[in-house]
Chains A and B, each alone.
Chain A
Amino acid sequence: MREKLFEIKGLKTYFNIGGQTAKAVDGVDFDIYKGEILGVVGESGSGKSVSLLSLIQLIPNPPGEVTDGEITFNGENIFNGDELKRIKAVPQYRFFNKLDVSKRTGVAFLFMVAWLVLHLVLPISGFIPFLISMLLMTGVTWYLFFNSPRKRHERSFREKMYTRMRQIRGSEIAMIFQEPMTSLNPVYTIGMQIIEAIKPKSFGEMVKDRIIDLAASFRNTRWVNKVRASVIAAVLFIFFGQLGTGWSFQFTQLISQALWGAALPLVLGYLMVGLDKLIPKEYHEEYVDLQRQGIKLLDQVGIPSPETRLKDYPHQFSGGMRQRVMIAMALAKKPSLLIADEPTTALDVTIQAQILELMKEIKDQREDAAIVLITHDLAVIAETCERVIVMYGGKIQEVAEVKELFDNPLHPYTKGLLGSIPTPELQKKARLQAIRGMVPNILNLPEGCKFCTRCDVKIDKCDSVDPPLMEVTPGHLVRCHLVIDEMLEQQNAPVSVSE
């Protein structure tokens, strides 16, 4: 068996939607091995994206939260749900814990009113004593009603986790998103964004880079064009100058306006060149080196003439090229895991083929790197992946090697998905074996098997008991009562299934 890169155990991610809990990911266990392409497939709302986003703690909190589970990355524990649970066990408030959160504000308000009423009885007079009393009141109210040791623990827990995650994200785990246009910043050039992925830059450094760029472009401009810019500026200065002076056309005025105008582009240009000289030489070298790295990255993902494309903006690229840029950015720090969330859904089939081919090439180049491909397209899975996870209702329903899954699907849901896509064997215009009904509301998932509302072969206990994920043959795991029962019957083993 290959070495494990990621080990995920009992991962749970819940969202709080208007007081109700949506169990987007509800106890997911899986491993990611080094050097594999793992496919995660499921319909929208099955929790496939959320479970991978939870890995790198990219769940917006609130409303979402990774509430439980254990994530081990390369032997290092990067998230421990037990610790979070221990923190959650700490009482939320220091006093009056039985008081409901909604009532708490009201009670605190009453307490403050009582304090104010006390002023009528007690002999407190004068502005300063009153002010002191008010400050005291605020402090005491906060201490009694809103002082929360749990919050403090939670904050320090998250701070520690996020600090570590910030080091991991981008450098160890990189992500490619579905819509490349929304993931790229339209106001920066591709070059700036790629270089930022290699080395984050401060504001000052970005100003320096801009100066270097401008100085270089001024130096590279031919004199004919410099003179042309001066003439244009002179004409504009004369026009607006005369507009200001009421079209007087005085000779001296015209001359001075023309001179100012002609000088301006040159002055600005030489100012940039001068500032450029002030920047230390090491920074220049580093800048050139980063540019070279950026060019190399773009070249690696197959963008033609990367030197000139580096200076272009995202809107000048086509969809497929933008996705290549995204992949180049993701590869910048040679990550050991690349998560691709529907990387080809927004692209045409021919471009999709190019991108999938590119991802396979990347995998071949880097032996120990893993790729996780999240998609709803089983055909894409069949083409690219080695192992597949099928998700439904926030739980893993089936895990298998790709050939095993397509040849011998066991879960009714997987069978339904495979029956939904037309295949050459199917007779033309024959009805497709669609799954009936629709995906249940995530706030209101069935108690037992998550698929029982749409399943054609369900038995009585499917409604009430959620089946465990069982290994049927080595490497092939299924969560289905029927399959498990059949397997146990064949083995004639006593029924002892641990959850």
Chain B
Amino acid sequence: MTQRRRLSNTQNSPQSRQQPGTLMAQEEDDDSTFTQPSTSQVQRGLEKLTPAQVEQKTAEVVQYFLVKDQKKIPIRRADLVKHVVKDYRNIYPEIIKRAERTFDQVFGLKLVEIDTKSHSYILINKMEPVVGASIINPTNPKMGLLFVILSIIFMKGGLVRENLIWSTLKKLRVDPGEKHEEFGDVRKVVTDEFVRQRYLEYVRIPHTEPVEHEFRWGQRADKEVSKAKILEFMGQLHEQDPQSWSQQYREAHSTPSSSQASTSSQR
């Protein structure tokens, strides 16, 4: 019980977010208490509840996702069940189904399970980003930084040693060793924030001395960022036809670029 309380305390404190490792470890024993109910269990559960009760619980789940998504941190099923779903866990699949529908039809967002082992979800945007759309919101400058890094990785075949990223950023006058006025601690933004948000993966290369890491696209980038757009951008930058990068062009236009290709459903 004390373990429980300690857990829920750490979740509220912002510091806990900086230690994804420890959270991951706790999650396992937590999630084991939850078993996905069967269809007939869900059916029986629904019969005992009024439609208003189910609707209310769905609304709570939707709100929870929206609040958590502001930080772009994946939402773990264990937390969702413990903090929100609670006594309705027997109809969990039905609630998730309804929440998915709401995200799709009302918010233009898609709920995606990114890790089937630890059962965590992210929300991705189904709407095509519009160039110059930020008439009101100043574009988040960090997204510009991210876009550059994703471009480098994509153009280099999907996997890049960290040195290349740092040296390229230096050329753009973003020195990871110095405090940047817009991004703050650049190294931390790139290797920690973007990684937690699942835009990037930052993996240690085995058997290197000193320790070296490499970058690849994270799951959120795969789902949210259009490779065709990146190639287009590269074409403009180098005044070159995007098709001249034949391999990248094939990749950008073969993968049914998940959400980006399909426009939001109009049901």
Answer whether A and B are interacting partners. no
| Residues of B near any A CB (own CB < 8 A) | none
| Residues of A near any B CB (own CB < 8 A) | none
